[in-house]
Chain A
Amino acid sequence: MKKLLLVTLIGFSLTVYFGLTVFILPEQYMSHEKLISQPHFDVKISDRDISLGESFRLDIVTENKGEYGDIHILSTAFPDLTEVGSVVNIATYDFTQPPTNIVPGDEMIAKYSGGLEHMIAKYPSIEAMSRPIHPGSTYHLSQIITPERQGNFSIYVKSVNIPHTSDLSHHPQTGILDHQEEYVQVYSVNVNP
């Protein structure tokens, strides 16, 4: 009798365990909505009109307006330059990872593919990254830029969160496409002779 009770109890416990861990809970967890993090940024440029040889300051504050995410990337690209050199200097930043320079010829992840598609960089850019990214968290990157040629000096700014689960995972969501075939916001400063 005692043995039968024990066998029944063990059989029941094993059924509950395997039933929950292999069949019931996986279904439940799979039905959960994936977290969607949502990047957003504000850009401030100190001067829109400068003389050749002068500098201007580019201040960017990024924010995660959505849910928890793994990685938050802010990219500033310079389509008029062939190299960053001494033109762009990072003044301050509070991203968790130090900003990295991407030079023309570097292979980059493209089309928000998270690594499935790659393209070659055509112009230099600076990428700042924080990971992980909690809801409402903000980061800041400040750069001092001293253009070396007169004319229009353009800057492409974009922010991408990973995992890239929907269009909300990048900012801007419309506009022109950069060399990664990802949307960018374009800012420009007029450099006078």
Chain B
Amino acid sequence: MVVLSSKIKNSFLSRQSEYIFLVGCILVSFGILLVTVGGSWDITNHLLNKPDTFFSPPHALMYLGVTISLTGVIVSFLSWRLLQNLKNLYFLSLKNSLIGIALLSGAGPFDYIWHSNFGLDGLLSPPHLTLIAGMFFCAIGGMIGISRFLKINPVKNHLRYLIILAIMPVWLSGSGIISSLSLPFSNTDYFEFNPDPTFAFIAAALGFPFLISMSSLLIFRLSDFRFGMVSVLGGLFLLIYSSTAIIPNFALMDSIVFYSLNLIPFIIADVILFFNKTRKSLIFVGGLLGSVYYMVYYPYVMYTFNEILLGKLVSPSLIYFVYFEMIDDVLMFTVIPAIILGILAVFVSERASKKILGFNIS
């Protein structure tokens, strides 16, 4: 009787701990979402206002995000210790979050010391690279935890949308990595960290299409092929990007119409996958989503291609003149590799989703 009671108590504790672990993962993902939004806003702030201090609103948002993520990792760790049979299932999530938060927590003081010694740093700098790597690991940790919870637990319908919160930070932090490796925003008075223009060109032309297609197909697979997920994820990405990179720049306001049209390919992808889930459809959708990267990553992707194609000095208010001047050339040179990378993401997302869920879902 005592043994049975103990078993029931342990099982109850384990179940509660699993829910608390989920809360931890949600906090990790939400925190990273804030960090990535703050990061995108920070790029715009530097471009438009050139702040001369470490203490700026985008930095505040980023470090609020780090604090929330740190809280999430602590909650995850404490609850993970109480998990009984599920410890192994959630270990990969916890491991990624712990690595990520260690990097993130170190990046804050590192960044402050860097600012104090070398003034404003560029986009790509050792502290920023540490920050972005930390963001990515944490986002992966949160995504694995949330996905595995949703897969093995019967949850209410609206909770299934948590998968969007799980994947969005991965997409945005992945975008942060590729942006750092491709945008020419990294030279300062002390260091010339701007990536080589050819390398930057290739990184953007291959990395962004892969990321769009990978994120969209990952959410499709992890949500059990749920209709609407790709559109919601894509729409949210466009909303975040437009509110941090376009709306703050007065001169770009009228290009919101152009940018909003990017929702169409995501809706088309959703419709195709709703009616036809064959590999052929997936390949078509992958290629389609890869091909629209230059439009989806408007406006800053222009700076990368301008380095090679035009070499113009671009003042922030002239961004779209240069962007649209290059659109034909960029697509002519990059649309085929972009489609190929989009298709490649179909296969990678299949393997990744199995790895994320910890078992074969197909």
The interface residues of chain A lying within 8 Å CB-to-CB of B320 are 29
For the complex, is A8 an interface residue (Cβ under 8 Å from B)? no
Across the interface, do B261 and A17 meet the contact criterion of CB distance under 8 Å?
yes
Across the interface, do B50 and A131 meet the contact criterion of CB distance under 8 Å?
yes
For the complex, is A98 an interface residue (Cβ under 8 Å from B)? yes
Across the interface, do B251 and A6 meet the contact criterion of CB distance under 8 Å?
no
Size bracket of the A interface: 20 to 34
For the complex, is A116 an interface residue (Cβ under 8 Å from B)? yes
A25 to B256, CA, bound (A): 11
Indicate which residue in B50, B268, B321, B324 contacts A14 across the interface (CB closer than 8 Å).
B268
The interface residues of chain B lying within 8 Å CB-to-CB of A163 are 315, 317-318
Across the interface, do B250 and A134 meet the contact criterion of CB distance under 8 Å?
yes
Across the interface, do A29 and B271 meet the contact criterion of CB distance under 8 Å?
no
A92 to B307, CA, bound (A): 40
For the complex, is B189 an interface residue (Cβ under 8 Å from A)? no
A98 to B53, CA, bound (A): 11
A9 to B251, CA, bound (A): 35
Across the interface, do B327 and A26 meet the contact criterion of CB distance under 8 Å?
yes
Residues of chain A from 57 to 79 with CB closer than 8 A to chain B in the complex: 68-71
B318 — nearest CB in chain A belongs to which residue?
A163
The interface residues of chain A lying within 8 Å CB-to-CB of B262 are 21
Indicate which residue in A22, A35, A71, A97 contacts B52 across the interface (CB closer than 8 Å).
A97
Across the interface, do A132 and B49 meet the contact criterion of CB distance under 8 Å?
yes
For the complex, is B325 an interface residue (Cβ under 8 Å from A)? yes
For the complex, is A13 an interface residue (Cβ under 8 Å from B)? yes
Minimal beta-carbon separation of A32 from chain B (angstroms) = 8
Indicate which residue in A6, A32, A96, A116 contacts B275 across the interface (CB closer than 8 Å).
A6
For the complex, is B331 an interface residue (Cβ under 8 Å from A)? yes
A56 to B321, CA, bound (A): 46
The interface residues of chain A lying within 8 Å CB-to-CB of B258 are 20-21, 25, 29
Indicate which residue in A30, A114, A131, A132 contacts B313 across the interface (CB closer than 8 Å).
A114
B314 — nearest CB in chain A belongs to which residue?
A163
Residues of chain A from 1 to 44 with CB closer than 8 A to chain B in the complex: 6, 9-10, 13-14, 16-17, 20-22, 25-26, 29-30, 32, 34-35
A96 to B51, CA, bound (A): 9
Given contacts A25-B257, A163-B318, is CB(A17)–CB(B265) below 8 Å? yes
B327 — nearest CB in chain A belongs to which residue?
A26
The interface residues of chain A lying within 8 Å CB-to-CB of B331 are 22
Across the interface, do A10 and B271 meet the contact criterion of CB distance under 8 Å?
yes
Minimal beta-carbon separation of A169 from chain B (angstroms) = 11
Q: Apart from A9-B271, A17-B261, A134-B250, what 20 extra A-B contacts exist at CB < 8 Å?
A: A6-B271, A10-B268, A13-B267, A16-B264, A21-B258, A21-B261, A21-B262, A22-B327, A26-B324, A29-B255, A29-B320, A35-B251, A69-B317, A70-B251, A70-B316, A71-B315, A131-B48, A132-B48, A132-B49, A132-B250
The 5 A-B residue pairs whose C-beta atoms are closest, nearest first, are A26-B324, A163-B315, A17-B264, A70-B315, A25-B258
